Amino acid sequence: MIKGTTKNLGVMGWPIAHSLSPVLQNAAIEAAGLDYVYISLPVPPEKLKEAVAGLRAMQFAGWNVTIPHKQAIMAELDDVDEDARIIGAVNTVVNRDGHLTGYNTDCIGFMQPLAQHGFSPKGREVTLLGAGGAARAVIWGLLRAKAGRITLGVRNPVKAARLAEEFSPYGEIQVLHWEDGAFADHLAVTDLLVNTTPLGMYPHIEGMPPVDWAKLKKAALVYDIIYTPACTRFLSEAQAHGHAIINGEGMLAGQGAAAFALFTGVTPDLALMKHALREELAARQGQ
């Protein structure tokens, strides 16, 4: 029941109708018995400044931020948390008495499934496929966890080198072309292999980055941040070669749970959020 006392939350993006955040957040709100509601906020890029001013004026308690606003919104906020500043993107905004602070919970969301799996990146060799926007939060989460070395396997080493240089003050990062022999050889020492590219995402489920599974360290854990489909070709092939796997559902639910705690001060039921996510994904795929 929406009342005059109900506090408003939402997710802004363009487009936004596909977002799963309302499913996750409203399930958590209902379970916690809180007087909040969470809605989609379609905001075209040229209207971002006005939208932020409007949400501030309407006293929205907070909102999530997705493509294409994660970088641009930083200029419209009063403060930006250190993690978000280093990552260079905001995915969560909290309104405290008209003062807007930006956060990035993607790195928390990425790290949670690793901890649940019992994998500690500390001192370990980690290889990331891709060096786009999604990789930034992953890199920072791993660097904060004291990963031994991060290798970026990419198709554009020049572009990736700029990203590596940006994060180099915080840890060791190297860049290799993912079709070079040096990259295939490096897989032999990799403890964690992560796909941060959209290759293999629905509906283009046949795609995947190039990986020589015969070269990958036998004990390596394989992680794909994609959650549609639940088991990508990348994960399916990894599993067929005997590797433990993690998909992107936990990261999505984890970043949402961290945002929920920032909005409300309440720790949500993460298992319930994952359940709501799986049900919604199944319903959409059945359409």
Cβ partners under 8 Å of residue 28, min gap 6: 256, 257, 260, 268, 269, 272, 273
- Angle in degrees, CA 150, 250, 205, rounded to 5: 80
What is the Cα–Cα distance from 15 to 43, expressed in whole angstroms?
A: 8
Q: Are 238 and 222 in contact (CB under 8 A)?
A: yes
Q: Which of 7, 49, 70, 122 is catalytic?
A: 70
70: annotated active-site residue: yes
**Selection from 80, 112, 109, 95 nearest residue 36 by Cα:** 95
Strand partners, 147: 122
Instruction: Write out the catalytic residue numbers.
Output: 70
